[in-house]
Structure 1
Amino acid sequence: MSDRFVSSRYRGMASTPMSSSVDRATRFDDVVNFSLGDPDLTTDPRIIDAAAADAHAGHTHYTDTFGDPELREEILAFYRQEYGYQPDPRELLVTTSGCHAMWLALESILDDGDEVVICEPYFTPYPHQIRLARGVPVVLSTLESEEFQVVPSRLEAVITPRTRAIILNTPANPTGSCLSRATKEAVARIAAEHDLIVIADEIYTLFSYGEEFEPFAMLPGMSERTITIGSFSKDFAMTGWRIGYVLAPPAVTMAMKDVNENNVFTAPSISQRAALHALRLREQIQPPMRALYRERLMHAYQRVCDMPGMSAIEPKGSIYLWVNITATGLSSDQVAERLFDEAHVLTIPGPAFGAGCEGYLRLAMTVGVEKIDEAFDRIARMDLFGGSPQR
C-alpha cells in the first residue's frame, strides 16, 4: 500500500520494541513476559467500585479543563501530606496519562529546533516525543560504573544556546537507579545557571527503595523552573485508566491547558474519579504493592548475580532490572532472540533505550516470584549460560 498520504515525518517510522513485544508474547503459550512495564495486578477493587458508583451518580461528563476539582484538591493534599510541599493550585493540570503529560509539556515549551537533554539509558518514547514537538533530542550518556548518575561536567558539555530543557527520570526506567541528592543539586545548579527547565518524570515515586523519594521541584529555587510529570499507572496499577498530571509554573500550566483543549479537551471523567479514590485509599493500597515489587526485583537480582554471563548493579528503585549480558559475547538482540526462542522468556534489548545501551537487557518485574524462578531455571539450562545444550 502506498504511503503517499502519510506525512513525510512518519514515513518509514518503525514501531517501538514495546508495541512489537505485545505481538511476540502470543507466539508461545508458556511465555514468561518481562517486556512491558504493565503491572500484573488488577486495579484495587475498591477503586473500581468507587469509580463505578461515581459513574452511576453522573460523573460521565466533561470536567473542568484543568481537571476534576476534587481530584486536583486531593493531589495538592497528597503533596502537602507526603512531602511537606505546597504547590500553588494554578500549577496543577490533570492529563490523559503521564506520556500525554510529557508531550503536552514539550509542545508547550519548545520552539522549533530547541534542544532537550535526555539521559541514556532513557524511556524509549522520549526522543520521539521531543521530535513530535519539533524539538531536537540530545543524548547524555550515563554509565553503570557510575551507577547511572548524571555527571555535571558531561551535562554542561552537551548544553548549547539552543538547549531548552533537561528530562530527569528517577526512580529510573530502565536502569532501576535513583539519582542521589548531590546529583540532583548539581543538575539544579546547572539548570539555574543556563536558565533551563527541568522536566522531572516522577511516575515511580512509590518504588524508591533506598532513600525516601523527594520531588525535584522541592530543591531550593527549582519550583519556578520544574515541570513535574505524575501518573497513577504504576504507583496504583492503573495503566489502562490513562490518567496523570503535571505540576508546573502557572504560565506553563496555562499553555498546556490551552494546548490540551485542542487535543483531548479533558482527561476522562471516570478515570479522574478513580484517581481521586486511589489517593484517598493509598495508605491501604500502596504498602503491599511496594513490598511485592521490591521482593520480586531483589529476587530476580539475586538470580542474575548467580547466572554465568549475566550481571547487574543492585536496583535502587522502579520495577525494572537492567541486566548486563556483555560476558556472553553476543549482542543484546542476539541474546534476547535466544532467550525467547530457547527459553520462551521475553525481554527488551538494551538499544531500545538508546544507541549506547548495547550489551544490556531490560526485565520488567511484572510477574510473580514463581514465574521469575521458572524463567531463570529455563535460562540456566541454555548452553549460552552454562547449561546443557538444548535438544
Structure 2
Amino acid sequence: MNFAERYAGLKPSGMLKIFQAADADPDIISLGVGEPDFDTEPDIIDEAARAAKAGYTHYGPIQGFEDVRRAVCSYWDRRYGLKSVPEEVQIMAGGVQSVYLGLQALLDPGDEVITAEPCFAPYFDQIYQNRGVIVHLPSSEEEGFVPSAEAIERAVTSRTKVLMICSPGNPTGRVIPRSRMEAIAAVAEKHDLTVFSDEIYDSMVYNGKHVPFASIPGMKERTLTMGGLSKSHCMTGWRIGYAIGPAPLIKIMTLLGANQTYGVNVPTQRAAMYALNNHDRKIEERAKIFRERLAYTAKRLNAMPGIRCPEPEGAFYLFPEIRGTGLSSEAFAWALLEKGRVAVLPGSSFGECGEGYVRIACTCSMENLEKAMDRMDIFLQTLNR
C-alpha cells in the first residue's frame, strides 16, 4: 500500500509515547493527561438519555441545532459579555475539530500560521495537514509565556494569514492580560490576520475573569473562538465542541464539516445544551477544587531541589522549570516515569521554547497528587546525591 508522501514520516509524538507507557503500568501516577478526573454530572447524562428516548436519534442539522447554538451564545454572553448569534456558531466533534476546519477554510498552500509557543502540540500537525507553513514564535517565562506584539509584528510576512493563541494556556496555565491582548489585536488588525483563540479553559481563571479575545474592540470580525464542554463540564468522552466566529467563515466550516462528520451526535447536543444552560455553579465549584490542587502542587514543587514553579493563573496545568536538575525536559520526564513512577510531559513537546520545563496536569485526586509529589521528591533527592 502506498501512503501519501507527506505522511511517510509520521510518527507518534513524545506526548503519545509517554501516555502509552503510563497506561501500560497501573502503578504509575499520571499527571500527563489534560482530562478532568470528574465524571460527567448524572443529570447531564440523564438529559442525553431523555433526548434519545424522545426521538433525537436521527441526523441533526449540520451546523448544530439552533437552540444548542443559542445556548453557546447565552453562555458566553452572561459569563463574559461576548455577544454573538447562532449564525456565528458551529457545533462540532470536539474543540480540536474547530482548529482543523478553520485552517481548512482559510489556508492556501504555503500560507503561514504563527503559533504562539509553547502551545498545544496538535496545532502543528493540523497546520501541516492543511498545507500551511508553521511560523514558530517562542516566548519566555519572563514574558508570561506570551509573545509580545512586537515579536508577532516581526514574524509577519506577506504570506501570514493566521495567528494562533491560547488563554488560559496549555501547557503553561498562564493567562494573557487584557493589555497584551489589546497590543496583539492592533497587530492583527494592521496586517489583516485572522486570530484563532483557543479558550477551552475559559472557566478556569483564578484571578479576575476570563477575557475573550473576540471581546477586544475590532476583533470579533476577525477571531475564531474555539471552545467546548470537555474541560468545563467534564465531557471529554462526549466529543462535543464549538467555534464562534464571523458568519461567512462559520458557513464555509459547516460545509467542510458536512463532508467529514456530517454533524454531531444528536443526544450529545441535547445534553450539551442542558449543561450550558444549567451548570454554571458546578463549573465554579470544580474550578475552586482545581485551584486548590494547583496551589498545593506548586508549593510542593517549589520545595524540591532543582525545581522552580510559578504560581498558577488558569487551566489545571503547572509548567515548572526543571533546569536545576541538569536534565533536559525529555530526559527528566522519562527518568521520573521509569524511576519515580510519575508521568509528566516534557515541555519541549509544546515547542522548542518549552525546553527546560515540564507540564504537570493536576487532574487527579488530592490523595494521588500527594503520592505523586512524595514520589517526585524522593526521585529528586536520589537524583541529586
When residues 29 and 261 of structure 1 are mapped into structure 2, their CA distance, relative to the original with a 3 A threshold, is closer
CA contact (8 A) 1:147 1:313 kept: no
Aligned CA distance change for structure 1 residues 312 and 38 (closer, same or farther; 3 Å): same
Letter in 2 for 1:120: E
Aligned to 1:59: 56
Instruction: Report if aligned partners of 2:220, 2:245 keep a CA contact under 8 Å in 1.
Output: yes
- Asked if the contact 1:62/1:269 (under 8 Å) is kept, the reply is yes
Contact 1:322 1:361 in 2 (8 A): yes
- Taking a change above 3 Å as real, the CA distance of residues 356 and 235 of structure 1, as seen in their structure-2 partners, is same
- The answer to whether residue 140 in structure 2 is matched with residue 135 in structure 1 is no
Structure 2 matches for 1:197-212, cutoff 5 A? 197-212=194-209
Cα separation, 2, equivalents of 1:357 and 1:173: 11
Q: CA deviation at 1:28?
A: 2.8
Q: Does 1:275 align with 2:290?
A: no
Contact 2:138 2:351 in 1 (8 A): no
Question: 1:174-253 residue pairs with structure 2 within 5 A?
Answer: 174-253=171-250
2:90 maps to amino acid: L
- Work out the CA distance in 2 between the residues paired with 1:163 and 1:94: 27
CA distance in 2, matches of 1:137, 1:387: 37
Aligned pairs for 1:277-316 (under 5 A) are: 277-316=274-313
Report the alpha carbon displacement of residue 177 of structure 1 after superposing the two structures with TM: 0.4
> Is the CA contact (8 Å cut-off) linking 1:167 and 1:200 kept in structure 2?
yes
Would you identify which runs of 4 or more consecutive aligned residues in structure 1 move more than 6 Å? none
Query: 2-side partners of 1:84 and 1:155: how far apart?
Result: 27
Contact 2:325 2:384 in 1 (8 A): no
State how 1:1-391 maps to structure 2 within 5 Å. Answer: 4-382=1-379, 384-385=380-381
CA RMSD between the two structures = 1.4
CA distance in 2, matches of 1:125, 1:386: 35
- 1:387 and 1:152 map into 2 onto residues whose CA distance is 40
Q: Is the 8 A contact 2:214 2:225 kept in 1?
A: yes
Q: 1:146, 1:385 → 2: CA distance?
A: 31
Distance in 2 (CA, whole Å) between partners of 1:133 and 1:331 is 32
Structure 1 stretch displaced more, 207-216 or 282-291: 282-291
Structure 1: tracts of 5 or more residues without a match: none
Structure 2 SS opposite 1:37: coil
Work out whether residues 117 and 146 of structure 2, in 8 Å CA contact, stay in contact via their aligned partners in 1: no
Q: Give the direction of change, closer, same or farther, for the CA distance of 1:114–1:331 in structure 2 (3 Å limit).
A: same
In the alignment, the residues of structure 1 paired with residue 174 and residue 26 of structure 2 have an alpha-carbon distance, to the nearest angstrom, of 33
Which range moved further: 328-337 or 187-196? 328-337
Distance 2:76 2:142 in 1: 34
* One-letter amino acid matched to 1:335: F
CA contact (8 A) 1:381 1:388 kept: no
Letter in 2 for 1:385: Q
Q: TM-score, normalised by structure 1?
A: 0.95
Paired residues in the alignment total: 385
Once residues 286 and 352 of structure 2 are traced to their aligned partners in structure 1, the CA distance between those partners, rounded to angstroms, is: 33
Question: How much does 1:78 deviate?
Answer: 1.5
Provide the rounded CA distance (Å) in 1 between the counterparts of 2:233 and 2:384.
Answer: 42
Q: Normalising by structure 2, what TM-score?
A: 0.97
Aligned-partner residue type, residue 30 of structure 1 = D
